[in-house]
Amino acid sequence: GTDGAGGADVDGGEPVRFVTAMRLARRKRAVPLARVARRVDDLVGDENNWGIEVFGEGPQRGLVQAYLRTHGLTDRVLLRGRVSRDELLESYQGATAYVSPTVLEAFGIAALEARAAGLPVVGRRGSGVEEFVEDGVTGLLARGDRELAAHLATLVLDPGARHRLRQASRAAPPTQSWPTVVGMVEAEYARAGRLARRRRT
């Protein structure tokens, strides 16, 4: 079968499990993520087994919990709290995709780490994830929260789509590896040195 599943499909009933690591704060869009989860639930129906595990703490935890309780989503969105880096990486094993709801983020280190671990990333266009996610290949990019929810619903309902994204993400690790980044930094220092020597001469 493929990785993860919803309902009684060819995957043998394994749940579709999305993960995210974020500070539960306004800028990270913790409450909007809960709203996205509600829309996914409306789109896929009760017979599909899926959920989002949220790792991290922050000032909006109470607001998120209240929203989840009000809309009957406490079994869909699990607030795991702060965990160690090793525990976080372990949680990525067997997950379907990483969800990045943030918009005002220049880069997105947590999402990049998930990509480096072989996970596809579902995120927003215009955010830092565009730097390392190829839409439709190593993840899915959305223009807004409604489209973000639609992308997640597609992955819940379509085992083939899950499988294709996982295979491509594992086969094409992001180019922003440490050796690549160090090489780019060294090249910039060398270029700066050449410019400085030219100015002196």
Q: Per-domain residue ranges for the chain?
A: 16-175
Q: What dihedral do alpha carbons 186, 187, 188, 193 form, nearest 10°?
A: 90
Superfamily name and number for 16-175: Glycogen Phosphorylase B; (3.40.50.2000)
Residue 80 one-letter amino acid: R
Does this model's pTM top 0.95? My answer is: no
What pLDDT tens digit does each residue of the chain (201 aa) get?
333 333 333 344 678 999 999 999 999 999 999 999 999 999 998 888 999 999 999 999 999 999 999 999 999 999 999 999 999 999 999 899 999 998 876 667 889 999 999 999 999 998 889 889 999 999 999 999 999 999 999 999 999 999 999 999 989 877 655 555 555 556 677 778 888 888 887
How does DSSP classify residue 1? -
